[in-house]
Amino acid sequence: MAGDGAERTGATRRRGAALEQAILRAAADELLESGYTGLTMDRVARRAGTNKNTIYRRWPNRAALGVAAYRQLAVADLKPPDTGELRGDALELLRRANCHWTSPLGEVLRGLLSAVGEEPELLAQLQEQAGAAGTAGWLAVLDRAVARGQAPPEARHPRVATVALALLRNEIITRGVSSAPDDVLVEIVDEVYLPLLRGHAHTETA
Amino acid sequence: MAGDGAERTGATRRRGAALEQAILRAAADELLESGYTGLTMDRVARRAGTNKNTIYRRWPNRAALGVAAYRQLAVADLKPPDTGELRGDALELLRRANCHWTSPLGEVLRGLLSAVGEEPELLAQLQEQAGAAGTAGWLAVLDRAVARGQAPPEARHPRVATVALALLRNEIITRGVSSAPDDVLVEIVDEVYLPLLRGHAHTETA
DNA sequence: TTCATTAGGGTACGCAACGTACCTTAAGGC
DNA sequence: GCCTTAAGGTACGTTGCGTACCCTAATGAA
């Protein structure tokens, strides 16, 4: 990491893409350290070894910078799990999501989501990243379950497929900041997700 | 409403509970007009015909005042619907919740939820109001459905009962600020909620 | 009734952070 | 080797939180 904490001492003056990257890295680091609340333009400027002026030439306001910086962090490595059983796969996906939302990154995302409420454009950008990543994994897992005969084909409806994820999100938002305990995840899978799929299979897999 | 917009002109000086109520009313009005973002201590003070000092003697910070003011607004009138059918009741509950979350009041609640993230005490207070009110209605509706034989007794598990509500919340949060369109509510009920209950009834009500 | 105590009113302040203005200075293309 | 363009530096205006200080009205007790 170049110029991590201290102000940059290099003699040359960066421009264009290089500078932009430096700003984004600085902003992303601030996000991880202090969350969106702690992301201030002055601090990002100092950390990146530049000044607010330069930042405002690229992003119109703090929220936009926050979203852009988050993008850097959110390149999630999502290989859907394959335990050979639907229940195991679902639990694993839920545990990963739980981890994600609980991590500093999740906190950042929550902060951003609430801060961006007024600007729909930024909101759309966030959803594109946060939302899409989620559903893909669930559909993949369900595809395999359908192939195995553990779930009916109708289960591949996106809303049905991601029910467990939605419940987890709801749990975290409703219950507060800390992560959901594992037995809640198990409950979601056993009491809701699997019965739901069973309910879709009208009279089969009994 | 006494002293609605203009600064109070009365000669007597209010104290204690009367003053506290005046402050809370002013804060609640500001919340409805401008949301939590627009709730500033100076404006509340002016509107209540008092000063910040007096407010800070009662609430330690803006968030606490916001939560207290929200309590005034959130006395929801919740008689669970009774259309005679589970599907109709569920849809009606969902529509009400959708209305609520979309209303200025919902916006306020969302703002508060995100602002209070750091202070667990306040968060607990909010949940007490927002959360409990919701589940009661669903349990009541399910009770009647069970009595009618339209749902299995296991459906009265709180997590199962409120699945539709959780999905709606998730939809609103994920998709952004505006209200969920009605077909989404129908989809939640028909594609998730009813199949889920069906799935719980292992081999009955077929 | 008088008077001390207590709570409210008015105002100004310190501080942080956003966003902007203005000028100076280096980079890089022609 | 100049000239446009972009970056650096700095200071400013503004808003809003939270605090400090001192004045003044209400209340209850002597």
The answer to whether the beta carbon of residue A150 comes closer than 7 angstroms to any atom of strand D is no
The answer to whether the beta carbon of residue A176 comes closer than 7 angstroms to any atom of strand D is no
For residue A11, being part of any structural domain is answered with no
Q: Mean pLDDT for chain A?
A: 84
Q: Domain tally for chain A?
A: 2
CB neighbours of residue A167 within 10 Å: 27
- Best residue of A67, A109, A174 to probe chain B, by most B CBs closer than 10 Å: A174
- Contact between A105 and A73 (Cβ < 8 Å): yes
pLDDT at A151 over 60: yes
For residue B53, being part of any structural domain is answered with yes
Rounded Cα distance between B195 and A154, Å, is: 11
Query: Nearest by CB to A199, which of B114, B187, B198?
Result: B198
Closest nucleotide to residue A42 (Cα to C1')?
C17
| Long-range contacts of the stretch A8-14 (C-beta < 8 A, 24+) | A8/A48, A8/A49, A8/A50, A10/A49, A14/A50
pLDDT at B1 over 70: no
Residue pLDDT, tens place only, A121-131? 777 777 766 66
Percent of chain B with pLDDT over 90: 45
pLDDT at A29 over 80: yes
Residues A53 and A109 in one domain: no
pLDDT at B119 over 80: no
Is B163 close to A160, i.e. CB distance below 8 A?
no
Query: Nearest by CB to B199, which of A111, A123, A195?
Result: A195
Highest mean pLDDT among B94-108, B150-164, B165-179: B150-164
Quick one: pLDDT at residue A42? 95
Residues B68 and B80 in one domain: no
Is B195 close to A199, i.e. CB distance below 8 A?
yes
Residue ending a domain, among B72, B102, B136, is: B72
Residue pLDDT, tens place only, A152-202? 998 899 899 999 999 998 888 777 656 788 999 999 999 999 999 988 875
Q: Which helix (H) or strand (E) holds B152?
A: none
For residue A10, being part of any structural domain is answered with no
Residues A64 and A108 in one domain: no
Residues A81 and A150 in one domain: yes
For residue B206, being part of any structural domain is answered with no
For residue B3, being part of any structural domain is answered with no
Looking at strand D, which nucleotides approach a protein CB closer than 7 A?
6-11, 15-21, 25-27
Residues B131 and B95 in one domain: yes
Residues A178 and A114 in one domain: yes
Find the CATH number of the domain harbouring B178.
1.10.357
Residues B38 and B81 in one domain: no
The DSSP secondary structure of A150-198, one letter per residue, reads SS-GGGGSHHHHTHHHHHHHHHHHHH-SSPPPHHHHHHIIIIIIHHHHH
Q: Using a CB-CB distance cutoff of 8 angstroms, which residues of chain B are in contact with residue A157? A: 191
The answer to whether the beta carbon of residue B42 comes closer than 7 angstroms to any atom of strand D is yes
pLDDT at A15 over 90: no
Rounded Cα distance between A48 and B141, Å, is: 57
Residues A168 and A99 in one domain: yes
Percent of chain B with pLDDT over 70: 85
Is A173 close to B169, i.e. CB distance below 8 A?
yes
Quick one: pLDDT at residue B64? 92
Quick one: pLDDT at residue A107? 79
Instruction: Give me the phi and psi of A148, to 5 degrees please.
Output: -80, -10
Quick one: pLDDT at residue B77? 61
Find the CATH number of the domain harbouring B28.
1.10.10.60
Count of H-run helices and E-run strands, chain A: 11, 0
Residues A36 and A100 in one domain: no
Residues B68 and B79 in one domain: no
Residue pLDDT, tens place only, B91-118? 999 998 888 877 888 878 878 877 777 7
Question: How many alpha carbons lie under 13 Å from residue A159 in its C-beta half-sphere?
Answer: 22
For residue B90, being part of any structural domain is answered with yes
Residues A92 and A141 in one domain: yes
More confident residue, B188 or B5: B188
Distance measured from the CA of protein residue B45 to the C1' of nucleotide D24, in angstroms: 19
Is A120 close to B170, i.e. CB distance below 8 A?
no
Quick one: pLDDT at residue A46? 94
Mean pLDDT of the B164-183 span: 82
Quick one: pLDDT at residue A189? 95
Quick one: pLDDT at residue B194? 94
Find the CATH number of the domain harbouring A139.
1.10.357.10
Rounded Cα distance between B54 and B21, Å, is: 12
More confident residue, B87 or B78: B87
Closest nucleotide to residue A45 (Cα to C1')?
D8
Q: How far is CA B104 from the centre of its chain?
A: 11
Is A117 close to B111, i.e. CB distance below 8 A?
yes
Quick one: pLDDT at residue A205? 42
The answer to whether the beta carbon of residue A51 comes closer than 7 angstroms to any atom of strand D is yes
Domain range enclosing A63: 16-72
Residues A68 and A82 in one domain: no
pLDDT bucket at B146, cuts 50 / 70 / 90: very high
Quick one: pLDDT at residue A52? 95
Distance measured from the CA of protein residue A64 to the C1' of nucleotide D14, in angstroms: 21
Task: State the alpha helices, DSSP H only, in chain B.
Answer: 16-34, 41-48, 52-56, 62-73, 86-102, 104-115, 120-148, 158-161, 163-175, 182-187, 194-200
For residue B1, being part of any structural domain is answered with no
Rounded Cα distance between B43 and A175, Å, is: 31
More confident residue, A84 or B204: A84
Question: Which residue on chain B is closest to A158 by alpha carbon?
Answer: B191
pLDDT at A3 over 70: no
pLDDT at A206 over 80: no
The answer to whether the beta carbon of residue B148 comes closer than 7 angstroms to any atom of strand D is no
Quick one: pLDDT at residue A13? 84
pLDDT bucket at A91, cuts 50 / 70 / 90: very high
Residue ending a domain, among B54, B72, B90, is: B72
Q: Using a CB-CB distance cutoff of 8 angstroms, which residues of chain B are in contact with residue A173? A: 113, 169, 173
Residue ending a domain, among A72, A95, A112, is: A72
Query: Nearest by CB to A199, which of B157, B173, B199?
Result: B199
Distance measured from the CA of protein residue B108 to the C1' of nucleotide D27, in angstroms: 38
For residue A154, being part of any structural domain is answered with yes
- For A43, counting Cβ atoms within 10 Å of its Cβ (0-12 exposed, 13-18 middle, 19+ buried), the class is middle
pLDDT bucket at A89, cuts 50 / 70 / 90: very high
pLDDT at B201 over 80: no
